[in-house]
Each structure stands twice: as C-alpha cells, then as structure tokens.
Chain A
Amino acid sequence: MLLAVLSPLIIFMYEVGKGNVIQVSMSIINTTIDGVKTAVVVKLIYNGSVKLTDLKLYILNKTLLFGDVSRGEYVRNVTIDVYASKELLDMPMTLEFKIAGLYHLSAIVR
C-alpha cells in the first residue's frame, strides 16, 4: 500500500531530477488593449508521466488555472497592465499543483 502511494511521488521526483519536466514560457503580444492592457500568452509544457491535478500559476496577482495536466502542451492567455509587462520576468512566479492528486507541491521562482 505504501509503495503504491509512494510510486507517483518517486516517479515524479526521478523525472524532475532528469530535468525539463515542466517548462513555462511567456510571450507578450505587442498589441495593446485600450492602450493600457496587453495580452500575454503563457505556454506550459509537461513532459512527465505522472498526472498533475489542480495546476495553478500565479503571476502578477493573477491566477491561471490549468486544471488536470498530463503529458502535453497547454496554453492560457492573460491580460496585464502595459507597465507591468516590463516587470514580467523580474516578478516572482508561483506554480502550484498536486502530484497524482496526493502530494501538494508549490514552487516559487524568484
């Protein structure tokens, strides 16, 4: 029973150790909305074999919901203030999810 519960965590940590399991990229679209807002495309690529549930990305006081994530590519759009777009890469970003719905993990990138 313990091994069955532990195996998703072990597999996930092993895959993380190998590198590039989760990649997040952001691209700012240069067209502004009303001159004050701009659109940002957030792309998440997951290469792991363990299902991640309730995945959320917090950036610039916005929450992007990805929900349940399996191997693949996920795209979300968010609108932010034009002035904030300059600070986008310097702002801390938090990624939160549950590994196989069991282990809550949060990663803050500073």
Chain B
Amino acid sequence: MKRNVVEMVKKIARGVIFGLFYYLLYIIALPMLFSRILQIPIEMVTGVAAASYIWFFIALETFISLVHKHLISIPMKVLSKMLYALMLYSVFNHGILTIEIPYNSYTISTTINISVVLYIIILASIIYGFLDAFSLFSR
C-alpha cells in the first residue's frame, strides 16, 4: 500500500516536472528564441492565459505519467506533443507575424509568414511523440 502511494507520488511529480518543462519549451523558450533570432516582437502569453497553459500542460503530463505502460499512453504521448506544437502555432498567430517600422516620414507595415517553420516543428513534435511513446514501452 505504502509502496503504491510512493509510486503514485513519483508519477505525479514526474508529470508536474514534464508539464512545466514542455510549457517552458513550447510557450516560453521557442517563441523567445524566434523573436530574438528574427528580431520580430512576439506577444508572449501572460496572466490568466499563461496560468491556463501551465495547468493544461501539467494535467496532461500527469495523466500520461499515471497511465504509463498502458496502451492509451501511446496515442496520448503522440497527441500531447502535437497539441503542444499546435499551441506554439497559436502563440505565433498561425505563423503570420506583423511588425510596423517607422522610417523617415513613412511607416512600413511588414507581414511575414513563417508557417513553414511551424509545420516542421509540428511534424518533429509528432515524430518525437512516437519515439517517446515506444521508448517508454520498450523499457
């Protein structure tokens, strides 16, 4: 009984840690990295939206951690990574970034479509989800 409780707490802790890690990766680190590299300001998620994202990531990862080694964990692992990447897609305004640059007496409104990059990230996330799901099963 005590062993089961310890095991359960370990799984929940693992879910919380992974949830926070994926939140930081997809919602904070990647948008910040792209914003810095492309020199285009990207509106970061803050306040209630940020809290909702954190709870969602933690809840999903905790659920995945609890159903670890059950068949359902395979689609859940793949779907969760795809969902995270789609959230990144949403944070990036579906790949359409707009910036206004004042130049002498003119204003230059620039719109750039970076959806190709986001499609690659979504694809890479799905592949990672598959690898993650099957590697856990093989242990």
B124 is an interface residue with CB less than 8 A from chain A: yes
Cβ contact within 8 Å between A103 and B114: yes
Residues from chain A with a CB closer than 8 A to the CB of B113 are 103-105
Residues from chain B with a CB closer than 8 A to the CB of A106 are 110-111
Q: How many residues of A contact B (CB 8 A)?
A: 18
Q: Roughly how many angstroms separate A42 CA and B19 CA in the complex, as a whole number? A: 55
Cβ contact within 8 Å between A2 and B117: yes
Q: B108 is contacted by which of A6, A9, A109 (Cβ under 8 Å)?
A: A109
Cβ contact within 8 Å between A107 and B38: no
**Taking chain A's interface residues, is the majority helix, strand, or loop, or is none over half, making it mixed?**
mixed
Cβ contact within 8 Å between B121 and A103: no
Contact flags A9-38 to B (C-beta < 8 A → 1, else 0): 110010001000000000000000000000
Q: How many residues of B contact A (CB 8 A)?
A: 19
Residues from chain B with a CB closer than 8 A to the CB of A17 are 39
Q: Roughly how many angstroms separate A19 CA and B130 CA in the complex, as a whole number? A: 44
B107 is an interface residue with CB less than 8 A from chain A: yes
Cβ contact within 8 Å between A108 and B108: yes
Q: A5 is contacted by which of B107, B111, B112, B120 (Cβ under 8 Å)?
A: B120
Q: Roughly how many angstroms separate A76 CA and B110 CA in the complex, as a whole number? A: 23
- B105-133 interface (Cβ within 8 A of A): 106-114, 116-117, 120-121, 124
Residues of A within 8 A of B (CB): 1-2, 5-6, 9-10, 13, 17, 99, 102-110
